Amino acid sequence: MTVSNGRIKTGILGLDEMLGGGFLPNSANLIEGAPGTGKTTVALQFIYNGIVDYNENGLIISFEEFPTQYYHDAANFGWDLKKLERRSGERSPTIGHVAERRLKILFSSPSIILEEIREPGSELIRTIEELNIKRVVIDSVTHFESIAKNSAEARDVERQLVNGFKREGVTTVFIRENDSILGQSATVVRSSDSAIAAGSSKMPFIVDSYMLLRYVEIDSEIQKALIVLKMRGSDHQKDIRRYRCTQNGIEVESKFTGREGIMSGNPRARPQDAFVDVFKKARKA
């Protein structure tokens, strides 16, 4: 059993707390952010911790990076993905004993994955069944926009993708690119469950949870902020949290205090806090 409350834990410090214990079982979950915000690291932790700590096998489907890149990135945190992916009966050159096959990293194309998730007897479905896959990462869902002719078809593709993996009984994390580095993005961002993306993509509406990672500038320093905008059928923490990429992976820390406009890219001190700060400086003078 994964967790006593039935949640699918990410194993990421602070994030499971924000999610009310973790993702819902058999759910579709969207992580969106600009380049370098740590989306793939969050997804790798979700997969790695699932295998090592919760006995749930994982599948990573990539449209950009070859498996060797994931091996390299994970090794920086001390995560041996090669060992987890090695076939049963093969011996590890480093540890010498027979390793289990707990992970599959698949480099493919959006059109092939979409076709195979539709077909019950496809190679993708057989992989999920034979390896008893429970956790899946799609890196990234943005690539599926290229195979749609118009916005209506794009929404249909996204629904087929989400429903296909749900049909297989897995918990899926979809990574989505956001070109906005600082400032307002194409996604309408407010600290409420109703603040979901605009535009042709309806992915934020279709998924069960929606998490946004952002760069923010605080006192001439770039920091990173995380917020869970949506979690269908469950309560979740709605505060905006700092997070860092450490030698152990992503760690979610305390919430931003004394600031407003964090996710708009234009954070500023709240009027009451600014008044107190000025008052303290005046007294010192």
| Cβ 2 vs Cβ 11: under 8 Å | no
Within a domain: residue 272? no
Within a domain: residue 6? no
CATH of residue 214: 3.40.50.300
User: What pLDDT does residue 130 have?
Assistant: 96
Within a domain: residue 7? no
pLDDT in tens, 195-252: 344 445 789 999 999 999 999 888 778 899 999 999 998 899 999 999 999 999 999 9
User: What pLDDT does residue 169 have?
Assistant: 97
Within a domain: residue 113? yes
- Amino acid letter for position 223: Q
**Nearest alpha-carbon partner for 265 in 177, 189, 175, 176:** 189
| Spans in the chain with pLDDT lower than 50 | 1-4, 92-98, 185-199, 270-283
User: What pLDDT does residue 69 have?
Assistant: 96
Within a domain: residue 230? yes
Q: Which range of residues forms the domain containing residue 89? A: 15-258
Domain count, the chain: 1
